[in-house]
Structure 1
């Protein structure tokens, strides 16, 4: 079973389109999205529509929850979010808000004898950061009942073994924090014997297109620069 795991698209249609093209080349069996379809980028409705048209299995992200509830309960009240949240709340169609609100917070699947838990932030909280060397990540993996934990939210991809368990963060399609504008996603391959192999793929895209759209819509320059340079 070969899975493509995407997350944190954040309203970046151009990055999503390029990643989906790359996924087609990888000949995967299925695609799973870990949430945060919207926020920051100028294409929230287009991104949600594309995920729906592709029938991609999808979780709810913390920014998705914040937009649906029109509150800062799950995101930081930063200058960027003081612009981005109300902008998306106003822009997102009611049907797309209903879709995001209906998404699950986690999914458990089993392939070839391997159990996998998919979450946006952590098994405990939708907005908890799990960085590979942090104590809370070590604790989460010690408490994990499944064989593999797959998360996102940090926008920083990684793959790390914790004993016999595998930790994966798929990174971000639309707003990476890796000092490059390249989109990232994960390919998880579990063979018939239950052996697991994961890789992070880095996908360049024409980020100047989204920069142009954001500039025309008068998005904050700091937000535009974060898309250009991959730095928060």
Structure 2
């Protein structure tokens, strides 16, 4: 199979995830790469994890912890940038059931980083970046690490989708002394921040070396109605505008 669906930052938003999976099914894609933050911010963390466990496990070739799994499952809330973020994580921690915690502990890679090969390409999957696997993002103008050893770098965390190439200087006259590395951030399924409220993910076609950034409508209002005041209303309202 030459096509791979890349998902990140679902953040407890089952409504968004379901629409993304339906879109993936229509394109006959059987391989999924998950880049972390399945939980928190949204009101359906247990439901998201249960759906992934029951419906998607056989298709997943990469599933790593994000910073929210790291914080919540180790009870380390010191790295969040705001008090409301800490409060949300602690609320989510209080609501996770044992089955969810077991799945996240037993089936996800805890390092926030995973190296693997697909069809001859050396792939690095990160939640954040090489400089900080959990809390520091890759941006086109600030890579936060040296990725010369890889052909493809997949990352999440920022909630901003991107696709770009970085050409490193190497001693390879055949390739004009350049090494091309493809960087992909699929954006966020459940809490986009690029002013587009739709659920977002990416499709990588290895055979053609192409990437499609997808934007899928989902019932945002239904997701918003689940919030009951347990966490700051900011996390509810931002869904409407993708901020």
Query: Is the shorter-chain TM-score for this pair beyond 0.5, marking a shared fold?
Result: yes
Stretches of 4+ moved more than 4 A in 1? none
* Number of equivalenced pairs: 222
1:132-143 aligned within 5 A: 132-134=140-142, 137=143, 140=145, 142-143=146-147
- Is the 8 Å Cα contact of residues 70 and 85 (structure 1) preserved in structure 2? no
The runs of 5 or more residues in structure 2 that have no matched partner are 168-179
Q: Which of 139, 147, 156 matches 1:131?
A: 139
Q: Which of 66, 69, 84 matches 1:61?
A: 66
Tell me the C-alpha RMSD between the 2 structures: 1.6
Q: Which of 92, 97, 108 matches 1:93?
A: 97
Superposed CA offset, 1:110-161 (max 9, x none): 2222111111111332211111122xx0x62x44311010000000000001
**TM-score with structure 2 setting the length:** 0.86
Q: 1:227 aligns to what?
A: 239
Q: 2:174 aligns to what?
A: none
Query: Per-residue deviation at 1:74?
Result: 4.1
Q: 1:177 aligns to what?
A: 193
- Is the 8 Å Cα contact of residues 63 and 74 (structure 1) preserved in structure 2? no
Query: Per-residue deviation at 1:220?
Result: 2.4
Q: Which of 197, 203, 216 matches 1:203?
A: 216
Larger radius of gyration: 2
- Is the 8 Å Cα contact of residues 91 and 231 (structure 2) preserved in structure 1? no
**TM-score with structure 1 setting the length:** 0.90
- Is the 8 Å Cα contact of residues 8 and 152 (structure 1) preserved in structure 2? yes
Structure 2 residue 111 is matched with structure 1 residue 111: no
- Is the 8 Å Cα contact of residues 88 and 232 (structure 2) preserved in structure 1? no
